[in-house]
Structure 1
Amino acid sequence: MFGLNVERLDLKDKNEKQELEVFLSKFGLELDKDVDYSLVVRDGGEIKATCSKAKNVLKCFAVAETLRGEGITNTLITDLINKLFEEGIYHSFIFTKPENISIFSSLGFNLVHQVKDVALLENGIQDINVYLNKLIKKYNISSSTKAALVMNCNPFTLGHQYLIQKAAEENEDVIVFIVEEDRSLFPFETRLELVRKGTEHLKNVTVIPGGEYIISSATFPSYFLREEGTRLNAYTELDAGIFAKYFCSKLNIKRRYVGTEPYCKVTNAYNETLKEVLSKYGVELHMIERKKQGDYQISASTVRNLIKEDKFEELKEILPQTTLGFLHTEKGKEIVAKIKVSNTPH
């Protein structure tokens, strides 16, 4: 490390950011869009090593061949974890290629799960088993046989409600995990509250936060898996494997419910992979045909499009009263305003 400097790179500086992107491209890597903090090691002014983070996920590692074996990775990770500590974050993840597991294991990271193209490791004050034990205690989850659903609900529709009701009718207990990553126009706390209010009449249903281990496709890294098909397969296999291996085992989940998806190829591919992975762990996947209402296949994206087009009367056909009522609150009106000016899908 003699003569080498570790420094923070200014991601707001277009030239510095481009310099980092060029360095990563030499390794067939990309800079993920959600990166919020990057470190680089320079030698003679040139970048020779780097790593970054997005919240508590460490990513975008690259070290020039001439510096390998010099403890650079250890230094960079130590500095990143110190930065997390400054932010009050004491638990972190690394997504990496399986061949790199030993490198990060030697630095104190523990393997959560691996599939063909990607592995997830974690480090810090908790692990996935500790997390699930706390979840069981906090929500008083019994040992009964259960069904589960994982939903985003952006926002909660009659379609979501129908799917949950179907699971509730067919099972003793049902857990609904709401994706916690805040990448939606409807914030996580709002989505969680709307689902809870909209399922109050279902006494065998428990609605809880998805937590960090139910991986959002939005946070899954793309920097070392550039081909879209490979990335989708890796994400679905990893997410499904973690859910089956840990959640289903620990919470005695024997069935998972999903709705059919007539519009989205990504969701269809996810459901097919989910079915295959869950079956290896003795868990059934139940695909329920999406609920229709008049001319509409009920979906959250349909709701957002109707809001954008000012077709609020038509919303009454596809939203429960709890969601309709929320849209008329001050917070709801703010979200409606954001949807109307949004040019990107959410």
Structure 2
Amino acid sequence: MYDLKLSKINLKQNSEVEEVEKFLESFNLILDKDVDYTVVLRNNVDKIVATCSKAKTVFKCFAVSSDLQGEGVTSTLITDLIDRSFNEGIYHNFIFTKPQNIDIFSSLNFKLVQKVEKVALLERGIYHIETVLKDIIDKYSIDLNKKRASIVMNCNPFTKGHRYLIEKAALDFEEVLVFIVQEDKSLFPFKERYELVKKGVEDLQNVKVIPGTEYIISSATFPSYFLRKEDERLRQYTKLDASVFGKYFCRELNIRTRLLGEEPYCKVTRAYNVALKEVLKDYEVKVIELKRKEFMGEAITASKVRDYIKKDRMKELEGLVPKVTFAFLNTKRGKEIVENIKKSNSPH
């Protein structure tokens, strides 16, 4: 019926990218800056009639012309993205889409993870969120009879402010699960962030430090956290991430409280805190926001630590970071990261 041609977009070629952007505009969509692969279908006059992209494991920016909807076009696009993922050694994918597209992707063996008003997240592959949580329960010997508190942290890097929040939680609750954001988009890589927290709280016997997985503040659940954009999508992403946490992590791990650090500076994190309070009450999870630990009259933040590093104020860091972090910054690996921070313009 239709003479359609599948082709890959050269993301380094501005004219090709602009053509996709213009097509997506008609659907009130944008081509996200983090995509690494974009495919289109063109008609017999070389006009784009459908497109989809991926950013590592996440499929996004999906649109099909209205006259082609229901014609199997989606399957063609998604099959190409799955093949591309397989070639890259990726065997599990998410898709961001509008809620009205859930049935389309469910028919292609994607399983709904969660949806909010304007965004739905589905997944497909060799595992799913329930199996990931079961692995956490087994690996970290989670006693499901205990009611517990949780904290989610990026720790870029681990500061005295983070230690204070964990320490306070450990005093007030029987057990505390600390999830470290696993997405590697921070100046301190996940491996180092995770190890610093583990070493930094090893004296707290009722604290377990756990990788955050792809389901907590990741490109799949909350891309705005890393994009740092205050646009109309921010509220949807904050609600999506918060509801995934409530629906799955709190329910499966018997988390009854989530602790937050008060956010005096970052509007994105502050918006996230608001969403957590709104959403988690629907899952009967209490949210406690604690005032941050201060040094010299100012809240201790990881961004302040990175700023000190950038300005070569290394000796002053002892007031902001625990001994484990300060010692790490003076190791060979730590010095490499310090140099990268000094060269970087990134806020992360």
Query: What range describes the TM-score normalised by the shorter chain of this pair?
Result: over 0.9
1:127 is aligned to: 128
* Dislocated runs of 4+, deviation >6 Å: none
1:253 is aligned to: 255
> Secondary structure in 1 aligned to 2:232?
helix
Q: Percent identity?
A: 58
**What is the total number of aligned residue pairs between the two structures?**
342
1:318 is aligned to: 320
Q: For 1:192 and 1:82, how far apart are their aligned partners in 2?
A: 32
1:49 is aligned to: 50
Q: CA deviation at 1:2?
A: 4.8
Which amino acid in structure 2 is aligned with residue 133 of structure 1?
K
Q: For 2:341 and 2:250, how far apart are their aligned partners in 1?
A: 36
Counterparts of 1:178-197 in structure 2 under 5 Å?
Answer: 178-197=180-199
Q: For 1:249 and 1:130, how far apart are their aligned partners in 2?
A: 14
Q: CA deviation at 1:300?
A: 0.2
Q: For 1:287 and 1:281, how far apart are their aligned partners in 2?
A: 17
Q: For 1:221 and 1:159, how far apart are their aligned partners in 2?
A: 25
8 Å contact 1:293–1:317 — kept in the other structure? Answer: yes
After superposition, give the CA deviation of every residue in 1:100-139 in whole Å (9 maximum; x if it has no partner): 1111112111111111121111111212111101111112
Q: For 2:275 and 2:68, how far apart are their aligned partners in 1?
A: 40
Match of residue 283, structure 1, among 285, 302, 305: 285
Q: For 1:88 and 1:82, how far apart are their aligned partners in 2?
A: 10
Counterparts of 1:1-346 in structure 2 under 5 Å?
Answer: 2-43=2-43, 44-143=45-144, 144-216=146-218, 220=222, 228-346=230-348
Q: For 2:197 and 2:30, how far apart are their aligned partners in 1?
A: 37
Q: CA deviation at 1:283?
A: 0.9
Unaligned runs of 5+ in 1: none
8 Å contact 1:217–1:235 — kept in the other structure? Answer: no
Q: For 2:342 and 2:87, how far apart are their aligned partners in 1?
A: 38
After superposition, give the CA deviation of every residue in 1:272-294 in whole Å (9 maximum; x if it has no partner): 22112111111111111100011
> Secondary structure in 1 aligned to 2:109?
coil
8 Å contact 1:148–1:175 — kept in the other structure? Answer: yes
Which amino acid in structure 1 is aligned with residue 70 of structure 2?
G
After superposition, give the CA deviation of every residue in 1:60-85 in whole Å (9 maximum; x if it has no partner): 11112332232111110011111111
Q: TM-score, normalised by structure 1?
A: 0.95
Which structure would you say has the larger RCO, counting Cα contacts within 8 Å and 6 or more residues apart? 1
Unaligned runs of 5+ in 2: none
Q: TM-score, normalised by structure 2?
A: 0.94
Q: For 2:132 and 2:218, how far apart are their aligned partners in 1?
A: 18
Which amino acid in structure 2 is aligned with residue 19 of structure 1?
E
